[in-house]
Amino acid sequence: MKRIAIITGASSGIGEAFLRLLSGGEKFDGIGDIDEIWIVARRIDKLTQIKSELSDDRIRTFAADVTKPEGMSALGSVLEYERPVVGLLINCAGVGFKGRVIDMRKDVTADTLNLNCVALGNLTGLCLPFMRSNETTRIINIGSSAGFLPQPGFAAYAASKAFVISYSRALAEELRSERITVTTICPGPVRTDFQSKATGGRTAEFTGLRKYVSADAGKLARASLKAAGKGRRMLVYKFSQKALHLASRLLPVSVFMFFERRMAE
């Protein structure tokens, strides 16, 4: 039976970095052999371009909006028909919109939660029946250090990533006796198109402190595959974010809100 990897959000950024690593022939302990890599995103031109650049016959493109029932059912039908083992599921597609809630378009919260939370949960549910295997299978969910604390000016995004962290931890525990592991990845800023999209094109670069702590997508993807291969439940990526994680567990939220307010002033 063929063993596949599914990567959502593979048309750019971190998802594309995962694809490049898996396609590059590098072996990752605990990940196992992959016969096909199914890459999912809305921009088929980008997926096709990356596939032809990598010239890897194992790559299959799926143009799908995973927030839409038809996008999810298109994937579901192929899974049902071909019945592969999903050896690796990487839920990477995600979006965020910066700004005060009062100033944003009204459906911004729905757009954020539908992709970052609902689609992630639905796709996981779709794949789980295909993940039972003699060899351990892996789920990687891309969270964010934004999920550690409420974030004024990025409220829906931070809340959506808090969901990813909580959901993934609970799922990992539910699957404890199965040979399926769930690894939540929590990076801080990563140099991708994300920032430009989040600010409606106003800034493509991170500014202030974020500029100095921003991470490379390829290095993050490599660290994530290593963590998943070991069955780790969580990877908080880079020292700065580990420090933030620890502080978020030790200090009251009001302390962080105070500093956020001061910085905004």
Ligand X SMILES: NC(=O)c1ccc[n+]([C@@H]2O[C@H](COP(=O)([O-])OP(=O)(O)OC[C@H]3O[C@@H](n4cnc5c(N)ncnc54)[C@H](OP(=O)(O)O)[C@@H]3O)[C@@H](O)[C@H]2O)c1
* Residue 134 C-beta: closest distance to ligand X, Å: 31
* Residue 93 C-beta: closest distance to ligand X, Å: 4
Which of 6, 19, 50, 66 is close enough to bind ligand X by CB under 6 A?
A: 66
Place of tokens 């990752």: 28
From the list 157, 167, 212, 237, the catalytic residue is 157
Which helix (H) or strand (E) segment is 61 a member of?
strand 59-63
The three-state secondary structure class of 67 is coil
The three-state secondary structure class of 177 is coil
237 among known catalytic residues: no
Which residues in 101-226 belong to E strands, given as ranges?
A: 137-142, 180-187
Which of 124, 151, 183, 192 is close enough to bind ligand X by CB under 6 A?
A: 192
How many residues bind to ligand X according to rule CB under 6 A?
29
Please tell me what DSSP assigns to residue 215.
B
Query: Cα separations (Å) of 214 from 19, 46, 192, 208, 256?
Result: 21, 24, 10, 11, 20
The three-state secondary structure class of 181 is strand
Binding status of residue 190 toward ligand X by CB under 6 A: yes
Distance between CA atoms of residues 207 and 47, nearest Å:
30
Which of 154, 167, 194, 256 is close enough to bind ligand X by CB under 6 A?
A: 194
Binding status of residue 9 toward ligand X by CB under 6 A: yes
Nearer to ligand X, 85 or 236 (CB): 236
Q: In one letter, which amino acid is 203?
A: T
Residues numbered 13-42 forming contacts with ligand X, rule: CB under 6 A: 13-15, 41-42
Q: How far is CA 78 from the centre of its chain?
A: 22
Binding status of residue 232 toward ligand X by CB under 6 A: no
Which of 59, 75, 88, 93 is close enough to bind ligand X by CB under 6 A?
A: 93
Contact positions toward ligand X, by CB under 6 A? 8-9, 11-15, 41-43, 46, 65-67, 92-96, 115, 142, 144, 187, 189-190, 192-194, 197
Active-site positions?
157
